[in-house]
Amino acid sequence: MTNVKVDRKDVISDQEVNQMLSVADKLSSLFFKLRAKATLALLETGKRRSEIASLERPDITMDSKFLYVRFTVVKKRKKNIRTLQRIKKFTVDSQWAQYIIEYLRFLENEFQGSKYVYPSVRYFFGKGYVMNPTEHAKPQEIWRIVKKLNEEDWPHQHREKRAVKVIRADESRFGECKLETVYRVRNALDLERETTAYNYIRRFETQKVEEEEETIG
């Protein structure tokens, strides 16, 4: 069962992510190790697991300053489906960019026939795995990668984490959340509606109030 969540009040912390990176380093397979660390890097963008799983190799490019990741965002309105392109970027010398670069280099050397960043993988108990280069992994595979690193984590937690970073940056800059914060959260997560962005802010502020009320003396 890959969609089982656990109850937790706070979003995933930077410290927990660092611990997950340490767990990834101990994986016996180099492929799984590099893929896990690249997955944590891509989750830092706040993108959905389905958008990460469907990435193609040409979607990731870089220049001397930045590594660019082009995501395909699917918007559904009743019977209509609209796809948009959204680009997130990492400074090329950051740890996150380096994790992605190392993983892509491994794929280029070992699995040249795949056009996907996450080729479909079929597991055989006790006998390793077989890769299908003609298909990309299902979103559930991103879930499994995260769960293997931390049972108390799941991909959407990193989406919440990205929103919290935007909110905290505005609170540090202005002393409080402002109207612009709603739009910054919406843009960071590529949300369609401002009300959805506001819900992220409301959850964060509610949690802060609850934490303050729990402190006595």
pLDDT along the chain (217 residues), means of 10: 54 94 95 97 96 96 97 76 88 97 94 88 75 90 96 95 95 92 94 92 78 55
* Domain ranges within the chain, ordered by starting residue: 14-153, 162-214
CB 5 within 8 A of CB 152: no
Which residue type, as a one-letter code, is found at position 123? Y
R_g over Cα of the chain: 18
Residue-wise pLDDT for 166-183, tens only, equals: 999 999 999 999 999 999
- The Cα–Cα gap between 152 and 24 comes to 15
Residue-wise pLDDT for 67-82, tens only, equals: 999 999 876 666 677 7
Report pLDDT for 1. Answer: 44
Q: Which CATH number fits domain 14-153: 3.40.50.970, 1.10.443.10, 3.90.1570.10, 3.50.50.60?
A: 1.10.443.10
| CA torsion angle 139 21 38 169 (round to 10) | 90
Q: What is the DSSP pairing of strand 119-124 with strand 80-91?
A: unpaired
